[in-house]
Amino acid sequence: MLAIEENVPLAPLTTIGIGGPARFFTRVTTVDALRDAIRHAHDRRLPLFLLGGGSNLLIADEGFDGLVVKLDLRGIVVHSEDASAYATVRVAAGEPWDAFVAYAVERGWAGIECLSGIPGSTGATPIQNVGAYGQDVSETIVRVEVLDRTTDRVVTLTNAECRFGYRSSLFKNVDRDRYVVLGVTFRLKRDGTAAIRYPELQKYIDERGIAADDLRGVRDAVIVIRKRKGMVIDPKDPDTRSDGSFFMNPVLTAEEYATFPRPDAPHFPSGDDVKLSAAWLIENAGFHKGFVHGNVGLSTKHTLAVINRGGGTAREVLELVRMIQAAVFAAFGVELHPEPNFVGLVG
């Protein structure tokens, strides 16, 4: 039997602390309960929204006029495939992501250490193909277990079937509302070394003599760097009341980059394409750290983070986002695209 609540505030369930109430709300801890919740919404013709860790989300000020289902599926199971070299681990969708990273690092399993300090649930990581400091989760994901809402069956998708791209996947783009992620299986290198690909991280660990096989040291270094940018949740730091990086770094083809007006801007190879720094574009379009717009603004530590300064609204966030997008396009001819999912809003 589902326990359905009414008029439940959603803002406290998000890292940015913005959003109106859910008309109806329930938590599910099993796949059967999830099926019941989906059926409940379908039978009553209610809009349905599935809520994970709330870390990459902007909800309308009016809230959600339907059923919000909080996914609380838990559990970590270690398998023994290729046990001599790799740990294959199935993590339920509701497990907190950073807690799992810490779990892996403590056991000497390499492959996700540079993704330390990222808030949210494990189930959200394949949807966004979460990445930071040179690592993406798609590098270590073996398969993703999902509930196919069109058939009501649990199916398993391989890494290739997930169609991972830069901050994108099958779940985010092609079949946005079809699948519900139930669990993610990772293949991590036992007694492995960290993949240090990000210059800022390389500089930090070099200065402190941290070895690449010191996964705890690398994890700690990543968290320190993220904290400097306000990218680790801290109730005492208002700069962390955000959705993390609000904009994706734009990726230009070689032809597009040839006409980019500022070749001196930071840029990085991305396959055959060129990735630009969204933070640099924002700052050089006139939006400084600590920029204020009503009750929202930009972090004092990093221009990529849109923060709730206290009493902020989704309307104010969208106003600021559109101001930034327009200024960057006017200055550089480059479109910035938001990372967070918008609920009840038009981005």
Q: How does pLDDT run across 310-339, given as a tens digit for each residue?
A: 999 999 999 999 999 999 999 999 999 999
Q: What whole-number distance in Å separates Cα of residue 234 and Cα of residue 240? A: 6
175 vs 102: which has the higher pLDDT: 102
5-71: CATH architecture: 2-Layer Sandwich (3.30)
176 vs 91: which has the higher pLDDT: 91
Those residues whose C-beta lies under 8 Å from the C-beta of residue 144, and which sit 6 or more positions away, are 126, 156, 157, 162, 171, 181, 183, 184, 185
Residues 1-28: pLDDT tens digits?
799 999 999 999 999 999 999 999 999 9
How many other CB atoms are found less than 10 A from the CB of residue 176?
Answer: 12
Please report the pLDDT score of residue 196 as a whole number. 93
Using an 8 Å Cβ cutoff, are 75 and 103 in contact?
no
User: Which position among 143, 149, 167, 219 bears the catalytic label?
Assistant: 167
176 vs 275: which has the higher pLDDT: 275
114 vs 84: which has the higher pLDDT: 114
- pLDDT at 38 > cutoff 70: yes
Please report the pLDDT score of residue 345 as a whole number. 86
With b for 16 or more beta-carbon neighbours within 10 A and e for fewer, the 62-83 pattern comes to: ebbebbbbbbbbeeeeeeeeee
CA proximity to 347, closest of 25, 57, 139: 57
Does residue 200 have an active-site annotation? no
How many other CB atoms are found less than 10 A from the CB of residue 295?
Answer: 15
User: Which position among 55, 116, 242, 245 bears the catalytic label?
Assistant: 245
- pLDDT at 130 > cutoff 90: yes
- pLDDT at 160 > cutoff 80: yes
168 burial via Cβ count (<10 Å: 0-12, 13-18, 19+)? middle
**CATH number for the 76-228 domain, one of 3.30.460.10, 3.30.465.10, 3.40.50.1110, 3.60.20.10?**
3.30.465.10
DSSP 298-326: E-SS-TTEEEE-SS--HHHHHHHHHHHHH
**% pLDDT > 90, the chain:** 90
- pLDDT at 81 > cutoff 60: no
Going by the DSSP 8-state scheme, the letter that residue 14 receives in this structure is S
Using an 8 Å Cβ cutoff, are 133 and 197 in contact?
yes
Structure tokens at 297: 């603004």
Q: What whole-number distance in Å separates Cα of residue 25 and Cα of residue 63? A: 12
328 burial via Cβ count (<10 Å: 0-12, 13-18, 19+)? buried
How many other CB atoms are found less than 10 A from the CB of residue 185?
Answer: 19
Residues 243-289: pLDDT tens digits?
999 999 999 999 999 999 999 999 988 889 999 999 999 999 999 99
Using an 8 Å Cβ cutoff, are 142 and 126 in contact?
no
- pLDDT at 36 > cutoff 90: yes
Please report the pLDDT score of residue 271 as a whole number. 86
Boundaries of every domain in the chain? 5-71, 76-228, 238-343
Q: What whole-number distance in Å separates Cα of residue 17 and Cα of residue 240? A: 10
Does residue 55 have an active-site annotation? no
Those residues whose C-beta lies under 8 Å from the C-beta of residue 126, and which sit 6 or more positions away, are 137, 138, 141, 144, 162, 164, 169, 171, 181, 184
Does residue 167 have an active-site annotation? yes
Please report the pLDDT score of residue 147 as a whole number. 98
**CATH number for the 238-343 domain, one of 3.90.78.10, 3.40.50.300, 3.40.50.720, 3.50.50.60?**
3.90.78.10
CA 80 and chain centroid, separation: 29
Q: What whole-number distance in Å separates Cα of residue 66 and Cα of residue 53? A: 19
- pLDDT at 346 > cutoff 80: no
Going by the DSSP 8-state scheme, the letter that residue 238 receives in this structure is G
Please report the pLDDT score of residue 284 as a whole number. 97
Phi, psi of 109 (to 5 degrees): -95, 115
How many other CB atoms are found less than 10 A from the CB of residue 278?
Answer: 22
Between the CA atoms of 108, 110, 113 and 115, what dihedral angle is there, to the nearest 10 degrees?
A: -140
In this prediction, residue 83 has a pLDDT band, given cuts at 50, 70 and 90, of low
Residues 64-80: pLDDT tens digits?
999 999 999 999 999 86
Gap between the terminal Cα atoms of the chain: 36
- pLDDT at 347 > cutoff 60: no
Positive or negative, the CA dihedral 24, 148, 121, 29 is positive
Please report the pLDDT score of residue 329 as a whole number. 98
- pLDDT at 54 > cutoff 80: yes
Please report the pLDDT score of residue 241 as a whole number. 95
User: Which position among 139, 256, 319, 339 bears the catalytic label?
Assistant: 339
- pLDDT at 219 > cutoff 90: yes
In this prediction, residue 152 has a pLDDT band, given cuts at 50, 70 and 90, of very high
